[in-house]
Amino acid sequence: MLKQKALIQVLEQANTNEVTSAILFNKEGLLLGQSGEEVSPTWISSIWACFDRRDLNESIIVMDEGIIGIAPVANMLLALKASKKAEIGMVRAKLRAMAKYLEGPISMIERDV
Amino acid sequence: MSSRRKVLLMGKSGSGKTSMRSIIFANYIARDCSRLGPTIEVEHAHVRFLGNLVLHLWDCGGQESFMENFLVSQKDQIFKNVQVLIYVFDVESREFEKDLRYYQSCLEALLQNSPKAQVFCLIHKMDLIEEDHREETFKKREADVLRYSELAARPHQVERENAVCQCFKSSIWDETLYKAWSTIVYKLVPNVGIMEEKLKKFAAILDADEIILFERATFLVIAHAETREHKDSHRFEKVSNIIKQFKLSCRCHFELESMHVKNSSFSAFIDTFTANTFIMVVLRDGNASVAATQLNIKLARPHFEKLE
């Protein structure tokens, strides 16, 4: 089972160095947990769906207002949102570390469904 | 393995036996009940409850000639192998003494033929009594019923623990009917204890204030677990009543699958659970994730399917 509180505590750890929020959601765009400021999982999942191929490991979108990094975790998606002052390398490193950390537990949950 | 329970539904003519049976098991709404005619002799109804528990309802007509028959010539047939007797009293009856004597005779016949049966009495049509007098009238009627139960049970006391039965007040116009039937059904379902244990664990994992399990067809409460005390003790019956009314008002052929109600201080999920149950999860957090909760409900499902 997925403990929402525990998940949020994990996600909160990403919120430093200009990263303002971290969210985990499924491919339909439904939120499982989020920390920090609100981000719409719906449009992030639709962006991902546009690029999605089996070998897509991550995507970093740099915009005027900030940076968004997306990576798959088992059958779900993890996204980090950072301000425009953030270093792209740092966002990417955090995204990878967080995705790797969540991969084991989340795939275990999904296996049982 | 399917288990059968023979349930006798008895009481004076016009006391509302068939009406309540129709509301609980046949999706009638209260005002449709005025169309029901009197029951002739015995109407049998098989109700599948929780999948493999079959309630065999014997709705016994209440007119005096039938009653005499039941007590004399059909005594064995009626009162053998009974698991439950539900006796319905009309609270407004002008001949309450007479009703009580019939009750005593029925109970005596039951005790001779099925000494292990459980007995429940419903003091029905409580809505006809003014609200201020309800409790008082009920108490008075209950005392009478208990007195007559004792009278009937005294010679058989040895092997019988629940000789003095349980009384409920009920009315088809509010949630008291569900309350009474839920309590009755609760005693018929095997392994309710294990179910409640599991629900408690589930509630702890989800951090839920309360989890309630409903039977799918009737929406009667089967089991519940609460982690935080709730002040309204009638909430289960209210939910049963509301959901059932809602399902009926939809007037469509779609099955209710799931429902999500939330405001800033709580969120409640009602979801199909096992083949025979619905689950309701109440979380204190108004922003609880729908997807995560549904995922957890899905994950819990197999554990409860094993129990049925």
Q: Which of A71-80, B6-15, B52-61 has the highest mean pLDDT?
A: A71-80
Q: For residue B90, what are its two tokens?
A: 């009309």
Would you say residue A37 has pLDDT above 90?
A: no
| A110 CB burial (10 A radius; 0-12, 13-18, 19+) | middle
**Cα B203 from Cα B223, distance rounded (Å):** 13
Residue B83 near residue B6 (C-beta atoms within 8 A): yes
Query: What integer pLDDT is reported at residue A92 of this predicted model?
Result: 92
pLDDT band at residue A101 using 50, 70 and 90 as cut-offs: very high
Interchain proximity B299–A33, CB inside 8 Å: no
Chain A nearest C-alpha distance from B287 (Å):
10
Instruction: Please write the tens of the pLDDT for every residue from B281-295.
Output: 998 877 778 888 888
Q: Got the DSSP string for B13-27?
A: TTSSHHHHHHHHHS-
Beta-bridge partner residues of B283: B208, B267
Interchain proximity A3–B291, CB inside 8 Å: no
Residues of chain A with Cβ-Cβ distance to B290 below 8 Å are: 30-31
pLDDT band at residue B279 using 50, 70 and 90 as cut-offs: very high
SS3 labels along B138-194: HHHHHHHHHHHHHHHHHHHHHHCCCCCCEEEECCCCCCHHHHHHHHHHHHHCCCHHH
Average pLDDT (A43-65) is: 83
Q: A33-42, B159-168, B213-222 — which is least confidently predicted?
A: B159-168
Query: What integer pLDDT is reported at residue B1 of this predicted model?
Result: 44
| Minimal-distance CA residue of chain B relative to A109 | B299
Name the average pLDDT for chain B: 80
Domain boundaries, chain A: 4-112
Interchain proximity A2–B296, CB inside 8 Å: yes
Beta-bridge partner residues of B167: B121
Quick one: how far is CA B5 from the chain centroid?
14
Chain B nearest C-alpha distance from A87 (Å):
30
Average pLDDT (B105-118) is: 81
Q: A9-18, A71-80, B25-34 — which is least confidently predicted?
A: B25-34
Query: What integer pLDDT is reported at residue A78 of this predicted model?
Result: 92
Residue B213 near residue B223 (C-beta atoms within 8 A): yes
Q: For residue B83, what are its two tokens?
A: 């698991």
pLDDT over 70 for what percent of chain B? 94
Q: CATH says A4-112 is which class?
A: alpha beta
- Name all contacts of A71-74 with Cβ < 8 Å and 24+ positions apart: A71/A95, A71/A96, A71/A99, A72/A99, A73/A24, A73/A99, A73/A102, A73/A103, A73/A106, A74/A102, A74/A103, A74/A106, A74/A107, A74/A109, A74/A110
In this complex, the residue of A1, A7, A33 whose CB is nearest that of residue B205 is A1
Q: For residue A1, what are its two tokens?
A: 């089972």
Task: Calculate ∠ Cα B146-B147-B153, nearest 5°.
Answer: 85
Sign of the four-CA dihedral B216, B219, B222, B225:
positive
Tell me how many residue pairs between chain A and chain B have CB atoms under 8 A apart.
40
Average pLDDT (B53-63) is: 82
Q: Higher confidence at residue B210 or residue B52?
A: B210
- Cβ density class A1-39: b for 16+ within 10 Å, e for less: bbebeebbebbeebbeebbbbbbbbbeebbbbbbbbeeb
Name the average pLDDT for chain A: 87
- Best of B289, B290, B298, B305 to disrupt the A interface (most A CBs within 10 Å) is B289
In this complex, the residue of B207, B291, B296 whose CB is nearest that of residue A30 is B291
Residue listed under structure tokens 């002052």: A85
Residues of chain B with Cβ-Cβ distance to A32 below 8 Å are: 289, 291-292, 295
| Minimal-distance CA residue of chain B relative to A33 | B289
Residue B222 near residue B277 (C-beta atoms within 8 A): yes
The one-character DSSP state at B41 is: S
In this complex, the residue of A7, A26, A112 whose CB is nearest that of residue B299 is A112
Q: A15-19, B103-107, B207-211 — which is least confidently predicted?
A: B103-107
Q: A70-74, B81-85, B149-153, B266-270 — which is least confidently predicted?
A: B149-153
Interchain proximity B298–A113, CB inside 8 Å: yes
In this complex, the residue of B292, B298, B299 whose CB is nearest that of residue A4 is B292
ipTM score of complex: 0.82
Average pLDDT (B38-62) is: 79
Instruction: Please write the tens of the pLDDT for every residue from B114-145.
Output: 877 888 888 888 888 777 877 888 888 787 87
